[in-house]
Structure 1
Amino acid sequence: MTDTNASRRNVILGVAAVGAAVPVIAACGSSDSSGDKTGVTSSDGGSSAGISTSEIPVGGGKVFAGEEIVVTQPTAGVFKAFSAVCTHQGCLVNKVEDKQIQCPCHFSHYSITDGSVESGPAPKPLPEKTVKVTGDTITVS
């Protein structure tokens, strides 16, 4: 009977461990962008639309934290988009200033032109996204 009790205990502990892991796994899923006040919406295809070209300053950019993207306009009429997740430790970049995308966690700075690392501990560039401009509307995927 000792083997049966030990086996039953292992099953109960295993079920408890799985139950505890479910909220953690759920927390790693994608976030709902419905609370994002930027006017950017996300579709199931992973694209963001509804960004007005006038929102993106020439020589600068804007971070859309809810979508985890940053959109830049290095020169007039040229729009770029990158992941807003810093390649150092996964913090979100929080601003575009002095022609650089900046991370507040460990001060990595990236180029607004190609996402390359300009300073800081980041080991690689921000991944580039696909940008489509239709009229005055930017779509990022």
Structure 2
Amino acid sequence: MGSDEATQHAVPSRRGVLAGAGSAALAILAGVSGCGTTEPAGAPPAGGTGPTSTGSVGGASSPGAAAAGSAGTVLGASADVPVGGGKIFESLEVVVTQPKPNDFLGFSTICTHTGCNVAAVAGGTINCPCHGSKYHLDGTVARGPAPRPLPSRPVKVVNGQIILD
């Protein structure tokens, strides 16, 4: 190999460097946001069952549920969660719904499609902005592409405060 050939192979082109840096940045962003993953953080195993309700305690715990808040964490006032609606507690990655009076259910805010955070509870559904998934107030899928229900985060109401159970 001549010295000119060796130099060409040893020094990457500007295009090659930029392409590599762009690919690395996208890989980092995908890892941080959860987008592009096949199993989003907090997703229950395939074939898992939906939540159950027992009065003011929300659903059974999903084995794969991982979220920011821990048992005993106060989320907020139960009066802030409307009947037939819900409230998102973003910093704790929990959404609480009240499908019927005094029936509070808690779920992870992490969509089971690509791991985006749900952004709103409106029109009787919990809505993900990334790809249009919608969940019923009981956490089950109302409209895909979400493949599974939202992971349950059991809650209880004590003295008008919603607490992670």
Q: What range describes the TM-score normalised by the shorter chain of this pair?
A: 0.5 to 0.7
Q: Answer yes or no: is 1:70 the counterpart of 2:95.
A: yes
Residue of structure 1 equivalent to 2:128:
103
Change (3 A) 1:108 1:47: farther
Change (3 A) 1:105 1:50: closer
1:1-141 counterparts in 2 under 5 A? Answer: 45-112=70-137, 114-141=138-165
Deviation at 1:46, TM superposition (A): 5.0
- Residues matched between the structures, number: 101
Which ranges of structure 1 fall in alignment gaps of 5 or more residues? 1-23, 29-41
Change (3 A) 1:53 1:133: same
Deviation at 1:132, TM superposition (A): 1.3
Given that residues 72 and 79 in structure 1 are in contact (C-alpha distance below 8 angstroms), is that contact kept between their aligned partners in structure 2?
A: yes
Distance 1:125 1:80 in 2: 13
What one-letter code is carried by the residue in structure 2 that aligns with 1:98? G
Deviation at 1:50, TM superposition (A): 4.2
Given that residues 83 and 129 in structure 1 are in contact (C-alpha distance below 8 angstroms), is that contact kept between their aligned partners in structure 2?
A: yes
Superposed structure 1 runs of 4+ greater than 2 Å apart? 45-48
Change (3 A) 1:88 1:47: farther
Deviation at 1:77, TM superposition (A): 0.9
What SS class does the counterpart of residue 54 from structure 1 fall into?
Answer: helix
What one-letter code is carried by the residue in structure 1 that aligns with 2:129? P
Deviation at 1:120, TM superposition (A): 1.8
RMSD: 2.0
Given that residues 75 and 164 in structure 2 are in contact (C-alpha distance below 8 angstroms), is that contact kept between their aligned partners in structure 1?
A: no
TM-score by length of 2: 0.57
Distance 1:50 1:86 in 2: 20
Distance 2:122 2:75 in 1: 23
Given that residues 48 and 67 in structure 1 are in contact (C-alpha distance below 8 angstroms), is that contact kept between their aligned partners in structure 2?
A: no
Which ranges of structure 2 fall in alignment gaps of 5 or more residues? 1-27, 33-67
TM-score by length of 1: 0.66
What one-letter code is carried by the residue in structure 2 that aligns with 1:127? P
Deviation at 1:48, TM superposition (A): 2.7
The share of aligned pairs that are identical, in percent, is 44
Residue of structure 1 equivalent to 2:53:
none
